[in-house]
Amino acid sequence: MTKIRPLKDIIEVMPSKEAADVELVTKAYEFATEAHKDQKRYSGDPYSVHTTEVGYYLAEAGLDAQTISAGLLHDTVEDAGVKPMDIEEKFGPEVRALVEGVTKLGALRYRGLERHTESLRNLFAATAKDIRVLIIKLMDRLHNARTLEHVPNPEKRERIALETLEIYAPIADRLGMSVLKQELEDAAFPHAYPDDYDKTRELLKERRHENEKRLEKTEKDLKRELAEANLRDFRMETRMKGLYSLFRKLERKDWDITKIYDIIALRVVFPSAADCYVALGIIHAQWRPVPGKIKDYMAFPKPNGYQSIHTTVYTGDGGALEIQLRTESQHQEAQFGIASHLSYKEVQEGAAPRRGSLEWARQFFPLRGWGKEEISPDAPESKPESVPEWVKELSRAHHAPGASEEYMDTLKSDFFSRRIFAFTPKGDVIDLPVAATPIDFAYAVHSDLGNTMSSARVNGKMVALDTELRNGDMVEIVTRPPGKPSRKWHDIAKTNMAKKHIRAALAARDRAEPKR
Protein backbone atom coordinates (compact mmCIF):
# COMPACT_ATOMS: atom_id res chain seq x y z
CA MET A 1 0.00 0.00 0.00
CA THR A 2 1.29 3.46 -0.96
CA LYS A 3 1.62 5.95 1.87
CA ILE A 4 0.24 9.48 1.73
CA ARG A 5 3.03 11.90 0.81
CA PRO A 6 4.07 13.90 3.89
CA LEU A 7 3.39 17.63 4.02
CA LYS A 8 7.10 18.34 4.59
CA ASP A 9 7.91 16.93 1.12
CA ILE A 10 5.62 19.46 -0.52
CA ILE A 11 6.88 22.40 1.54
CA GLU A 12 10.49 21.41 0.84
CA VAL A 13 10.08 21.79 -2.95
CA MET A 14 7.77 24.84 -2.87
CA PRO A 15 9.37 27.85 -4.58
CA SER A 16 8.16 30.21 -1.84
CA LYS A 17 8.88 29.57 1.83
CA GLU A 18 7.10 32.71 3.04
CA ALA A 19 5.07 32.08 6.19
CA ALA A 20 1.73 32.97 4.59
CA ASP A 21 2.33 30.59 1.67
CA VAL A 22 3.42 27.71 3.90
CA GLU A 23 0.40 28.32 6.15
CA LEU A 24 -2.02 28.26 3.17
CA VAL A 25 -0.61 25.01 1.76
CA THR A 26 -0.52 23.40 5.22
CA LYS A 27 -4.18 24.29 5.82
CA ALA A 28 -5.18 22.93 2.38
CA TYR A 29 -3.22 19.71 2.98
CA GLU A 30 -4.89 19.09 6.32
CA PHE A 31 -8.37 20.03 5.05
CA ALA A 32 -8.14 17.77 1.97
CA THR A 33 -6.74 14.82 3.95
CA GLU A 34 -9.62 15.06 6.42
CA ALA A 35 -12.22 15.46 3.63
CA HIS A 36 -11.02 12.30 1.85
CA LYS A 37 -10.21 10.24 4.98
CA ASP A 38 -12.85 7.56 4.33
CA GLN A 39 -12.25 7.23 0.59
CA LYS A 40 -10.08 4.72 -1.28
CA ARG A 41 -8.55 4.49 -4.75
CA TYR A 42 -8.93 1.46 -7.06
CA SER A 43 -5.57 0.29 -5.70
CA GLY A 44 -6.90 0.23 -2.15
CA ASP A 45 -4.68 3.19 -1.24
CA PRO A 46 -6.12 6.12 0.73
CA TYR A 47 -7.60 8.68 -1.69
CA SER A 48 -5.27 11.35 -0.32
CA VAL A 49 -2.35 9.55 -1.96
CA HIS A 50 -3.67 11.06 -5.21
CA THR A 51 -4.34 14.60 -4.00
CA THR A 52 -1.03 14.92 -2.16
CA GLU A 53 0.87 13.69 -5.22
CA VAL A 54 -0.86 16.31 -7.38
CA GLY A 55 0.07 18.97 -4.83
CA TYR A 56 3.68 17.74 -4.84
CA TYR A 57 3.90 17.77 -8.65
CA LEU A 58 2.67 21.38 -8.71
CA ALA A 59 5.15 22.45 -6.03
CA GLU A 60 8.00 20.68 -7.81
CA ALA A 61 7.11 22.50 -11.06
CA GLY A 62 7.43 25.83 -9.25
CA LEU A 63 3.78 26.89 -9.02
CA ASP A 64 2.54 29.38 -6.43
CA ALA A 65 0.93 28.52 -3.08
CA GLN A 66 -2.63 29.14 -4.37
CA THR A 67 -2.14 26.64 -7.21
CA ILE A 68 -0.56 24.03 -4.93
CA SER A 69 -3.46 24.44 -2.50
CA ALA A 70 -6.00 24.08 -5.31
CA GLY A 71 -4.20 20.92 -6.44
CA LEU A 72 -4.55 19.46 -2.95
CA LEU A 73 -8.23 20.46 -2.85
CA HIS A 74 -9.15 19.75 -6.48
CA ASP A 75 -11.38 16.73 -5.74
CA THR A 76 -12.97 17.89 -2.49
CA VAL A 77 -16.03 19.51 -4.10
CA GLU A 78 -16.73 16.71 -6.56
CA ASP A 79 -15.81 13.66 -4.48
CA ALA A 80 -16.06 14.74 -0.85
CA GLY A 81 -19.16 16.95 -0.87
CA VAL A 82 -17.39 20.16 0.14
CA LYS A 83 -19.25 23.32 -0.91
CA PRO A 84 -17.38 25.89 -3.06
CA MET A 85 -18.33 28.63 -0.56
CA ASP A 86 -16.52 26.69 2.17
CA ILE A 87 -13.40 26.64 -0.01
CA GLU A 88 -13.64 30.41 -0.48
CA GLU A 89 -14.17 31.09 3.23
CA LYS A 90 -11.15 29.03 4.25
CA PHE A 91 -8.76 29.61 1.33
CA GLY A 92 -9.95 32.72 -0.54
CA PRO A 93 -11.67 33.40 -3.89
CA GLU A 94 -8.58 32.66 -6.00
CA VAL A 95 -8.27 29.08 -4.70
CA ARG A 96 -12.03 28.58 -5.04
CA ALA A 97 -11.92 29.69 -8.71
CA LEU A 98 -9.09 27.24 -9.46
CA VAL A 99 -10.84 24.35 -7.70
CA GLU A 100 -14.13 25.09 -9.46
CA GLY A 101 -12.32 25.30 -12.80
CA VAL A 102 -11.07 21.74 -12.33
CA THR A 103 -14.30 20.49 -10.70
CA LYS A 104 -16.44 21.49 -13.69
CA LEU A 105 -14.44 19.08 -15.80
CA GLY A 106 -14.71 16.12 -13.46
CA ALA A 107 -18.43 15.48 -13.84
CA LEU A 108 -17.94 14.84 -17.56
CA ARG A 109 -15.06 12.36 -17.45
CA TYR A 110 -15.07 9.16 -19.49
CA ARG A 111 -18.70 9.04 -20.64
CA GLY A 112 -18.31 8.56 -24.37
CA LEU A 113 -16.73 10.65 -27.10
CA GLU A 114 -19.29 13.45 -27.15
CA ARG A 115 -19.29 13.95 -23.38
CA HIS A 116 -15.51 13.68 -23.21
CA THR A 117 -15.17 16.26 -25.95
CA GLU A 118 -17.50 18.55 -24.03
CA SER A 119 -15.17 18.13 -21.07
CA LEU A 120 -12.28 19.33 -23.22
CA ARG A 121 -14.32 22.30 -24.43
CA ASN A 122 -14.92 23.29 -20.80
CA LEU A 123 -11.26 22.69 -20.02
CA PHE A 124 -10.12 25.29 -22.53
CA ALA A 125 -12.88 27.70 -21.57
CA ALA A 126 -11.71 27.57 -17.94
CA THR A 127 -8.08 27.74 -19.01
CA ALA A 128 -8.60 30.94 -21.00
CA LYS A 129 -9.44 32.59 -17.68
CA ASP A 130 -6.49 31.11 -15.79
CA ILE A 131 -3.81 28.87 -17.31
CA ARG A 132 -3.22 27.31 -13.88
CA VAL A 133 -6.48 25.34 -14.21
CA LEU A 134 -4.94 23.51 -17.15
CA ILE A 135 -1.70 22.79 -15.29
CA ILE A 136 -3.60 21.35 -12.30
CA LYS A 137 -5.56 19.15 -14.72
CA LEU A 138 -2.33 17.95 -16.35
CA MET A 139 -0.83 16.99 -12.98
CA ASP A 140 -4.07 15.25 -12.02
CA ARG A 141 -3.89 13.28 -15.27
CA LEU A 142 -0.21 12.41 -14.69
CA HIS A 143 -0.88 10.68 -11.38
CA ASN A 144 -3.94 8.92 -12.80
CA ALA A 145 -1.85 7.71 -15.76
CA ARG A 146 0.87 6.45 -13.44
CA THR A 147 -1.68 4.33 -11.56
CA LEU A 148 -3.59 3.00 -14.57
CA GLU A 149 -2.71 -0.61 -13.79
CA HIS A 150 -5.21 -0.45 -10.91
CA VAL A 151 -8.18 0.48 -13.14
CA PRO A 152 -10.13 -2.83 -13.33
CA ASN A 153 -11.93 -2.22 -16.64
CA PRO A 154 -9.51 -2.90 -19.57
CA GLU A 155 -11.51 -0.76 -22.03
CA LYS A 156 -11.56 2.18 -19.66
CA ARG A 157 -7.84 1.74 -19.00
CA GLU A 158 -7.07 1.86 -22.72
CA ARG A 159 -9.36 4.83 -23.29
CA ILE A 160 -7.71 6.88 -20.54
CA ALA A 161 -4.27 5.97 -21.90
CA LEU A 162 -5.20 7.02 -25.46
CA GLU A 163 -6.68 10.31 -24.23
CA THR A 164 -3.46 10.95 -22.36
CA LEU A 165 -1.34 10.36 -25.47
CA GLU A 166 -3.58 12.18 -27.95
CA ILE A 167 -4.69 15.17 -25.90
CA TYR A 168 -2.92 15.76 -22.59
CA ALA A 169 0.71 15.04 -23.53
CA PRO A 170 0.47 17.33 -26.59
CA ILE A 171 -1.02 20.06 -24.38
CA ALA A 172 2.01 19.78 -22.08
CA ASP A 173 4.25 20.01 -25.14
CA ARG A 174 2.48 23.13 -26.41
CA LEU A 175 3.03 24.71 -22.98
CA GLY A 176 6.76 23.90 -23.22
CA MET A 177 6.58 21.45 -20.29
CA SER A 178 8.84 18.79 -21.81
CA VAL A 179 9.39 16.80 -18.61
CA LEU A 180 5.65 16.53 -18.02
CA LYS A 181 5.02 15.61 -21.67
CA GLN A 182 7.48 12.71 -21.52
CA GLU A 183 6.16 11.47 -18.19
CA LEU A 184 2.56 11.50 -19.43
CA GLU A 185 3.52 9.62 -22.60
CA ASP A 186 5.63 6.98 -20.89
CA ALA A 187 2.99 6.38 -18.20
CA ALA A 188 0.23 5.84 -20.78
CA PHE A 189 2.21 4.02 -23.50
CA PRO A 190 2.12 0.45 -22.06
CA HIS A 191 -1.66 0.65 -21.58
CA ALA A 192 -2.46 2.17 -24.98
CA TYR A 193 -0.18 0.05 -27.18
CA PRO A 194 1.13 -2.88 -25.07
CA ASP A 195 2.65 -4.84 -27.99
CA ASP A 196 4.47 -1.81 -29.39
CA TYR A 197 5.64 -0.94 -25.88
CA ASP A 198 7.23 -4.37 -25.43
CA LYS A 199 8.82 -4.28 -28.91
CA THR A 200 10.28 -0.79 -28.36
CA ARG A 201 11.63 -1.69 -24.93
CA GLU A 202 13.38 -4.79 -26.31
CA LEU A 203 15.00 -2.82 -29.14
CA LEU A 204 16.21 -0.20 -26.68
CA LYS A 205 17.58 -2.86 -24.36
CA GLU A 206 19.70 -4.27 -27.21
CA ARG A 207 21.29 -0.85 -27.88
CA ARG A 208 21.59 0.45 -24.33
CA HIS A 209 25.15 -0.74 -23.61
CA GLU A 210 26.52 0.56 -26.92
CA ASN A 211 24.86 3.96 -26.44
CA GLU A 212 26.02 4.34 -22.85
CA LYS A 213 29.60 3.44 -23.78
CA ARG A 214 29.58 6.06 -26.60
CA LEU A 215 28.11 8.68 -24.27
CA GLU A 216 30.70 8.04 -21.56
CA LYS A 217 33.65 8.44 -23.95
CA THR A 218 32.22 11.55 -25.64
CA GLU A 219 31.49 13.18 -22.29
CA LYS A 220 35.06 12.58 -21.10
CA ASP A 221 36.58 13.92 -24.35
CA LEU A 222 34.31 16.98 -24.42
CA LYS A 223 35.15 17.94 -20.83
CA ARG A 224 38.82 17.88 -21.77
CA GLU A 225 38.28 19.97 -24.93
CA LEU A 226 36.21 22.58 -23.09
CA ALA A 227 38.78 22.84 -20.29
CA GLU A 228 41.59 23.36 -22.81
CA ALA A 229 39.57 26.21 -24.32
CA ASN A 230 39.22 27.71 -20.82
CA LEU A 231 35.49 26.94 -20.60
CA ARG A 232 35.12 25.53 -17.10
CA ASP A 233 31.81 26.93 -15.84
CA PHE A 234 29.29 24.37 -17.07
CA ARG A 235 27.53 21.19 -16.06
CA MET A 236 26.69 18.08 -18.06
CA GLU A 237 23.78 15.70 -17.83
CA THR A 238 22.33 12.84 -19.83
CA ARG A 239 18.98 13.14 -21.59
CA MET A 240 17.25 9.81 -22.28
CA LYS A 241 14.66 9.80 -25.07
CA GLY A 242 11.20 8.84 -23.84
CA LEU A 243 10.05 5.36 -24.78
CA TYR A 244 6.89 6.59 -26.51
CA SER A 245 8.81 9.25 -28.43
CA LEU A 246 11.27 6.55 -29.52
CA PHE A 247 8.38 4.36 -30.67
CA ARG A 248 6.95 7.15 -32.84
CA LYS A 249 10.36 7.77 -34.39
CA LEU A 250 10.88 4.05 -35.00
CA GLU A 251 7.59 4.00 -36.92
CA ARG A 252 8.92 6.75 -39.20
CA LYS A 253 12.26 4.94 -39.63
CA ASP A 254 10.73 1.53 -40.49
CA TRP A 255 11.74 0.21 -37.07
CA ASP A 256 15.47 0.59 -37.87
CA ILE A 257 16.92 1.79 -34.56
CA THR A 258 20.37 2.33 -36.13
CA LYS A 259 18.89 5.37 -37.94
CA ILE A 260 18.04 7.10 -34.65
CA TYR A 261 20.88 9.18 -33.18
CA ASP A 262 19.18 10.86 -30.22
CA ILE A 263 18.22 7.88 -28.03
CA ILE A 264 20.70 9.26 -25.52
CA ALA A 265 21.83 12.89 -25.75
CA LEU A 266 24.56 14.73 -23.90
CA ARG A 267 23.27 18.03 -22.53
CA VAL A 268 25.69 20.82 -21.55
CA VAL A 269 24.37 23.79 -19.57
CA PHE A 270 26.35 27.07 -19.54
CA PRO A 271 25.87 30.46 -17.85
CA SER A 272 25.46 32.37 -21.14
CA ALA A 273 24.42 31.96 -24.76
CA ALA A 274 27.88 33.14 -25.86
CA ASP A 275 29.43 30.15 -24.06
CA CYS A 276 27.06 27.84 -25.95
CA TYR A 277 28.19 29.14 -29.34
CA VAL A 278 31.86 28.92 -28.36
CA ALA A 279 31.26 25.32 -27.24
CA LEU A 280 29.51 24.55 -30.56
CA GLY A 281 32.65 25.59 -32.44
CA ILE A 282 34.81 23.42 -30.18
CA ILE A 283 32.51 20.41 -30.70
CA HIS A 284 32.56 20.75 -34.50
CA ALA A 285 36.35 21.11 -34.49
CA GLN A 286 36.64 17.83 -32.58
CA TRP A 287 33.85 15.78 -34.21
CA ARG A 288 32.35 15.97 -37.70
CA PRO A 289 28.70 17.10 -37.57
CA VAL A 290 26.03 14.99 -39.25
CA PRO A 291 24.68 17.04 -42.22
CA GLY A 292 21.23 18.50 -41.61
CA LYS A 293 21.32 17.69 -37.89
CA ILE A 294 22.29 21.13 -36.55
CA LYS A 295 19.27 22.95 -35.10
CA ASP A 296 19.63 26.40 -33.56
CA TYR A 297 16.51 26.84 -31.45
CA MET A 298 18.39 29.49 -29.48
CA ALA A 299 18.33 31.92 -32.40
CA PHE A 300 14.91 30.68 -33.58
CA PRO A 301 12.95 29.43 -30.55
CA LYS A 302 10.09 26.98 -30.99
CA PRO A 303 6.62 28.50 -30.59
CA ASN A 304 6.33 26.95 -27.12
CA GLY A 305 9.39 28.95 -26.03
CA TYR A 306 11.95 26.12 -26.22
CA GLN A 307 15.52 27.37 -26.71
CA SER A 308 18.60 25.23 -27.18
CA ILE A 309 21.24 24.32 -29.76
CA HIS A 310 21.17 20.71 -30.99
CA THR A 311 23.96 19.16 -33.01
CA THR A 312 24.52 15.51 -33.89
CA VAL A 313 28.15 14.45 -34.45
CA TYR A 314 29.90 11.33 -35.68
CA THR A 315 31.82 9.97 -32.69
CA GLY A 316 34.48 8.02 -34.61
CA ASP A 317 33.28 4.57 -33.53
CA GLY A 318 30.78 4.05 -36.33
CA GLY A 319 27.99 5.81 -34.49
CA ALA A 320 26.69 9.30 -33.75
CA LEU A 321 25.50 11.24 -30.70
CA GLU A 322 23.31 14.29 -30.16
CA ILE A 323 24.73 17.10 -28.03
CA GLN A 324 22.47 19.84 -26.66
CA LEU A 325 23.74 23.25 -25.50
CA ARG A 326 21.69 25.72 -23.48
CA THR A 327 21.82 28.27 -20.65
CA GLU A 328 20.54 27.70 -17.11
CA SER A 329 17.47 29.88 -17.68
CA GLN A 330 16.73 28.12 -20.97
CA HIS A 331 17.08 24.77 -19.21
CA GLN A 332 14.57 25.76 -16.54
CA GLU A 333 12.10 26.91 -19.20
CA ALA A 334 12.67 23.75 -21.27
CA GLN A 335 11.91 21.56 -18.26
CA PHE A 336 8.83 23.34 -16.91
CA GLY A 337 7.75 25.65 -19.74
CA ILE A 338 5.09 28.18 -18.87
CA ALA A 339 5.05 27.01 -15.24
CA SER A 340 8.65 28.19 -14.77
CA HIS A 341 7.63 31.86 -14.67
CA LEU A 342 3.89 31.85 -13.96
CA SER A 343 4.28 33.12 -10.43
CA TYR A 344 6.56 36.02 -11.16
CA LYS A 345 5.89 37.40 -14.65
CA GLU A 346 3.86 40.59 -14.78
CA VAL A 347 2.41 42.62 -17.61
CA GLN A 348 4.53 45.71 -18.21
CA GLU A 349 3.61 48.91 -19.99
CA GLY A 350 5.23 49.24 -23.37
CA ALA A 351 5.44 45.45 -23.83
CA ALA A 352 5.48 44.00 -27.33
CA PRO A 353 2.07 43.47 -28.94
CA ARG A 354 0.43 40.24 -27.87
CA ARG A 355 0.78 37.40 -30.37
CA GLY A 356 -2.36 37.07 -32.47
CA SER A 357 -3.51 40.66 -32.05
CA LEU A 358 -3.93 43.03 -34.97
CA GLU A 359 -1.01 45.11 -33.67
CA TRP A 360 1.19 42.01 -33.66
CA ALA A 361 0.08 40.96 -37.16
CA ARG A 362 0.65 44.44 -38.61
CA GLN A 363 4.34 44.24 -37.67
CA PHE A 364 4.86 41.59 -40.30
CA PHE A 365 2.20 42.39 -42.91
CA PRO A 366 1.40 46.14 -42.98
CA LEU A 367 -2.00 46.59 -44.57
CA ARG A 368 -4.57 49.36 -44.80
CA GLY A 369 -8.20 48.73 -44.13
CA TRP A 370 -7.85 46.06 -41.46
CA GLY A 371 -10.66 45.91 -38.93
CA LYS A 372 -10.25 47.06 -35.36
CA GLU A 373 -11.35 43.85 -33.72
CA GLU A 374 -9.62 40.50 -33.39
CA ILE A 375 -11.16 37.19 -34.47
CA SER A 376 -13.40 37.43 -31.40
CA PRO A 377 -13.06 38.97 -27.94
CA ASP A 378 -10.78 37.15 -25.54
CA ALA A 379 -12.24 35.52 -22.48
CA PRO A 380 -11.49 37.34 -19.22
CA GLU A 381 -8.22 36.21 -17.70
CA SER A 382 -6.61 36.48 -14.29
CA LYS A 383 -3.13 36.12 -15.80
CA PRO A 384 -3.53 37.40 -19.39
CA GLU A 385 0.17 37.56 -20.16
CA SER A 386 0.54 33.85 -19.43
CA VAL A 387 -2.30 32.41 -21.52
CA PRO A 388 -1.08 31.30 -24.97
CA GLU A 389 -3.07 32.42 -28.00
CA TRP A 390 -3.86 28.84 -29.04
CA VAL A 391 -5.62 28.26 -25.69
CA LYS A 392 -7.72 31.36 -26.27
CA GLU A 393 -8.59 30.17 -29.77
CA LEU A 394 -9.82 26.87 -28.33
CA SER A 395 -11.85 28.80 -25.78
CA ARG A 396 -13.45 30.85 -28.55
CA ALA A 397 -14.26 27.62 -30.38
CA HIS A 398 -15.92 26.44 -27.15
CA HIS A 399 -18.51 29.20 -27.50
CA ALA A 400 -19.07 28.67 -31.22
CA PRO A 401 -21.92 26.46 -32.43
CA GLY A 402 -20.90 23.10 -33.86
CA ALA A 403 -20.85 19.39 -33.17
CA SER A 404 -18.54 17.89 -30.59
CA GLU A 405 -16.99 15.75 -33.32
CA GLU A 406 -15.93 18.92 -35.19
CA TYR A 407 -14.38 20.32 -32.04
CA MET A 408 -12.38 17.10 -31.55
CA ASP A 409 -11.27 17.27 -35.17
CA THR A 410 -10.03 20.81 -34.54
CA LEU A 411 -8.10 19.66 -31.50
CA LYS A 412 -6.39 16.84 -33.33
CA SER A 413 -5.76 18.54 -36.67
CA ASP A 414 -4.95 22.12 -35.66
CA PHE A 415 -3.39 21.81 -32.25
CA PHE A 416 -2.17 18.31 -31.41
CA SER A 417 -0.90 16.98 -34.73
CA ARG A 418 2.75 16.82 -35.75
CA ARG A 419 3.92 20.38 -36.29
CA ILE A 420 6.06 22.42 -38.65
CA PHE A 421 7.52 25.86 -37.93
CA ALA A 422 7.33 28.55 -40.61
CA PHE A 423 8.53 32.15 -40.34
CA THR A 424 7.10 35.57 -41.11
CA PRO A 425 9.37 37.98 -43.05
CA LYS A 426 10.52 39.45 -39.72
CA GLY A 427 11.42 36.07 -38.27
CA ASP A 428 8.44 35.41 -36.01
CA VAL A 429 7.62 31.71 -35.72
CA ILE A 430 4.20 30.41 -36.78
CA ASP A 431 3.54 26.79 -35.87
CA LEU A 432 1.23 24.77 -38.09
CA PRO A 433 0.27 21.14 -38.64
CA VAL A 434 2.19 19.08 -41.18
CA ALA A 435 0.94 19.67 -44.79
CA ALA A 436 -0.33 23.19 -43.97
CA THR A 437 -0.47 25.69 -46.87
CA PRO A 438 0.06 29.46 -47.23
CA ILE A 439 -3.69 29.80 -46.69
CA ASP A 440 -3.38 28.15 -43.26
CA PHE A 441 -0.33 30.32 -42.52
CA ALA A 442 -2.18 33.56 -43.34
CA TYR A 443 -5.19 32.72 -41.17
CA ALA A 444 -2.89 31.60 -38.33
CA VAL A 445 -1.43 35.11 -38.29
CA HIS A 446 -4.82 36.85 -38.42
CA SER A 447 -8.20 36.44 -40.12
CA ASP A 448 -7.89 39.83 -41.85
CA LEU A 449 -4.60 38.78 -43.39
CA GLY A 450 -6.20 35.61 -44.74
CA ASN A 451 -9.28 37.41 -46.02
CA THR A 452 -7.21 39.95 -48.00
CA MET A 453 -4.59 37.51 -49.35
CA SER A 454 -4.02 37.42 -53.09
CA SER A 455 -0.81 35.35 -53.38
CA ALA A 456 2.16 34.09 -51.38
CA ARG A 457 5.93 33.87 -51.58
CA VAL A 458 7.83 31.04 -49.89
CA ASN A 459 11.56 31.59 -49.42
CA GLY A 460 11.35 34.53 -51.85
CA LYS A 461 9.56 32.67 -54.67
CA MET A 462 5.94 32.96 -55.73
CA VAL A 463 4.08 29.70 -55.07
CA ALA A 464 0.61 28.28 -55.57
CA LEU A 465 -1.71 28.62 -52.60
CA ASP A 466 -1.97 24.83 -52.28
CA THR A 467 1.80 24.45 -51.74
CA GLU A 468 2.62 22.34 -48.68
CA LEU A 469 4.87 24.31 -46.34
CA ARG A 470 7.99 22.74 -44.89
CA ASN A 471 9.83 23.23 -41.64
CA GLY A 472 11.80 26.49 -41.69
CA ASP A 473 10.04 28.07 -44.69
CA MET A 474 9.85 31.88 -44.73
CA VAL A 475 6.37 32.86 -45.89
CA GLU A 476 5.32 36.27 -47.16
CA ILE A 477 1.63 36.89 -47.75
CA VAL A 478 0.82 39.34 -50.55
CA THR A 479 -2.45 41.16 -49.93
CA ARG A 480 -4.92 43.04 -52.14
CA PRO A 481 -7.90 44.45 -50.26
CA PRO A 482 -10.67 43.76 -50.58
CA GLY A 483 -9.71 40.10 -50.72
CA LYS A 484 -11.90 37.36 -52.02
CA PRO A 485 -11.62 34.02 -50.19
CA SER A 486 -13.08 31.31 -52.41
CA ARG A 487 -14.65 27.93 -51.92
CA LYS A 488 -11.53 26.47 -53.50
CA TRP A 489 -9.51 27.95 -50.63
CA HIS A 490 -11.79 26.10 -48.24
CA ASP A 491 -10.97 22.81 -49.97
CA ILE A 492 -7.22 23.56 -49.96
CA ALA A 493 -6.95 24.63 -46.31
CA LYS A 494 -5.80 21.98 -43.83
CA THR A 495 -6.63 23.64 -40.52
CA ASN A 496 -10.14 23.94 -39.13
CA MET A 497 -9.30 27.51 -38.08
CA ALA A 498 -8.68 28.58 -41.69
CA LYS A 499 -11.76 26.73 -42.94
CA LYS A 500 -13.92 28.40 -40.29
CA HIS A 501 -12.77 31.91 -41.24
CA ILE A 502 -13.21 31.20 -44.97
CA ARG A 503 -16.77 29.97 -44.37
CA ALA A 504 -17.51 33.10 -42.35
CA ALA A 505 -16.11 35.36 -45.09
CA LEU A 506 -18.13 33.56 -47.78
CA ALA A 507 -21.32 33.78 -45.72
CA ALA A 508 -20.77 37.52 -45.11
CA ARG A 509 -20.24 38.08 -48.85
CA ASP A 510 -23.42 36.15 -49.70
CA ARG A 511 -25.40 38.30 -47.26
CA ALA A 512 -23.94 41.53 -48.68
CA GLU A 513 -24.61 40.68 -52.34
CA PRO A 514 -28.05 41.74 -53.61
CA LYS A 515 -30.36 38.84 -54.35
CA ARG A 516 -31.47 38.46 -57.94
DSSP 116-152: HHHHHHHHHHHHHH-HHHHHHHHHHHHHHHHTGGG-S
The amino acid that residue 4 corresponds to is: I
pLDDT tens per residue across span 335-377: 887 776 564 333 333 444 444 444 444 444 443 333 332 323 3
What is the percentage of the chain residues whose pLDDT exceeds 90?
A: 56
Residue 148 has pLDDT above 50, yes or no: yes
Higher pLDDT, 512 or 382: 512
Question: Mean pLDDT score of the chain, rounded to an integer?
Answer: 83
Catalytic residue among 38, 45, 53, 78: 78
pLDDT class of 513 with cuts at 50, 70, 90: confident
pLDDT class of 487 with cuts at 50, 70, 90: very high
Q: Where are the domains of the chain?
A: 7-191, 194-337, 358-512
Spell 176-195 as b/e; 16+ CB within 10 A means b: bbbbbbbbbbbbbbbbbbee
Q: Check if 79 is active-site.
A: yes
pLDDT tens per residue across span 157-192: 998 998 888 878 888 887 888 889 999 999 999 999
C-alpha span between 440 and 143 (Å, rounded): 36
Residue 20 is predicted with a pLDDT of 96
Among 108-112, 222-226, 505-509, the range with the most confident prediction by mean pLDDT is 222-226
Burial (CB count within 10 angstroms: exposed 0-12, middle 13-18, buried 19+), residue 201: middle
pLDDT class of 395 with cuts at 50, 70, 90: low
pLDDT tens per residue across span 437-484: 999 999 988 889 999 999 999 988 999 999 999 877 889 999 987 778
Q: Check if 405 is active-site.
A: no
Going by DSSP bridges, is the β-strand pair 289-296/419-423 parallel, antiparallel, or unpaired? unpaired
C-alpha span between 474 and 421 (Å, rounded): 9
| Fold for the domain defined by 194-337 | Beta Polymerase; domain 2 (3.30.460)
Helix count (H) and strand count (E) of the chain?
A: 23, 10
Catalytic residue among 18, 53, 64, 79: 79
pLDDT class of 14 with cuts at 50, 70, 90: very high
Residue 512 is predicted with a pLDDT of 75
Residue 414 is predicted with a pLDDT of 55
- Look at the pTM and tell me if it is higher than 0.85: no
The correct CATH number of 7-191 out of 1.20.1530.20, 3.40.50.300, 3.20.20.70, 1.10.3210.10 is 1.10.3210.10
User: For the domain 358-512, what is the CATH superfamily, name and number?
Assistant: Beta-grasp domain (3.10.20.30)
Residue 299 is predicted with a pLDDT of 87
Residue 146 has pLDDT above 90, yes or no: yes
Residue 120 has pLDDT above 80, yes or no: no
Residue 465 is predicted with a pLDDT of 95
